[in-house]
Amino acid sequence: MHIPDGFLSTPVWAALDAAAVVSVGSLARRTQREIEDCRIPALGVMGAFVFAAQMINFPVGLGTSGHLLGSALLVVTLGPAAASIVMAAILVIQALIFQDGGILALGANVFNMAVAGVLAAYLPYRIWSAGRMRNFAIFAGGALAVLVGAALAVGELLASGIRMGPGILGISCGLFAVNAVLEGSITVAVVRSLEAMRPDWVRAPDSSGRLVLGSLAAAAVLLAVVGVLFASADPDGLQRLAERAGIAERAKNLFTTPMTDYQLGGVRSEWARKAVAGLAGVAAITLLTLGLSKALARRGRA
């Protein structure tokens, strides 16, 4: 659901850039009031894991793929404010290093996924997570985050003057719905696996807490190095929608990077191109989220 540059009109992307800056700034201030030193490693590891998971596209039907968004997973493990900061950091790295999502459209992507998507994931979890409906709350949060992000992206395209017929919209909505169901199911499975090892692992400084962090870090590396071998090459839902709407050729990059499209240029082996880029992304996200969380923690204490 990463919108590239060239799809949104100037008034739309400019307004969303401003909204994203204000929203993320407010969430950063809330994070600095809430963050604890013992939680800082979890922000770095969860950022790396979600970034790596987003690299693995899976088929959702009709020659279209999807991937884990991770908003609900971040909400459940880190809380909504920290989840937004981590997701925003992921989107910045994806746009600047891998050209996944536009630079001018970065505000739209941050607002759709790191602000509205995280809020959508948090609402069901806040309402139902305390009782027997906890698994449903996590599932609903994951599914709703995808649906809200997709609906906003489509709405922004329509507001930019892009015409889409009922048939195109209907097929796209169906594919987004499949992606949403898979998102919710994967999120529940990951959360249950983590909590089976240690329910309070985010704040646990002991060996069992470190074991969960180490397992997540290892999973992120495996996804980046091995998972890319099995990732679907089909376009994702938004790319397929753009093709059907006849606007795919509008996508443009304001500059080029050595790791465009998650592949390191100048390397012969396709697997090596993807694996090295994936590892670089995992490292970049980890360093950025750790740096941000430490800075916010220091400001909160001050």
Which pLDDT tens digit goes with each residue over 52-82? 999 999 999 999 999 999 999 999 999 999 9
Distance CA 162, CA 34 (A): 41
Strands (E), the chain: 58-61, 64-66
The CATH label, of 1.10.10.10, 3.20.20.80, 1.10.3720.10, 1.10.1760.20, for the domain at 10-301 is 1.10.1760.20
131 φ, ψ to 5°? Answer: -115, -150
225: CB partners within 8 A, 6+ apart: 275, 278, 279
103 φ, ψ to 5°? Answer: -75, -50
Is the pLDDT at 206 greater than 80, yes or no?
A: no
Region 268-289: mean pLDDT is 96
CB 98 within 8 A of CB 261: yes
| Stated pTM of the model | 0.96
Q: Output 141 or 208, whichever has higher pLDDT.
A: 141
Which pLDDT tens digit goes with each residue over 20-52? 999 999 999 999 999 988 889 999 999 999 999
Please give the pLDDT value at position 174. 96
Is the pLDDT at 207 greater than 80, yes or no?
A: no
pLDDT-based confidence at residue 115 (cuts at 50, 70, 90):
very high
Work out the percent of the chain whose per-residue pLDDT is above 90. 88
Is the pLDDT at 204 greater than 90, yes or no?
A: no
Give DSSP secondary structure letters for 247-264. Answer: -GGG-B-SS--TTGGG--
pLDDT-based confidence at residue 224 (cuts at 50, 70, 90):
very high
Distance CA 27, CA 278 (A): 28
196 is written with which tokens?
């089976």
CB 151 within 8 A of CB 112: no
Which pLDDT tens digit goes with each residue over 147-161? 999 999 999 999 999
Best CA proximity match to 271, nearest among 69, 55, 68, 99: 55
Is the pLDDT at 216 greater than 90, yes or no?
A: yes
Residue 6 Ramachandran class (φ > 0 left, ψ -120 to 50 alpha, else beta)? left
Best CA proximity match to 2, nearest among 95, 72, 64: 95
Q: Where are the domains of the chain?
A: 10-301
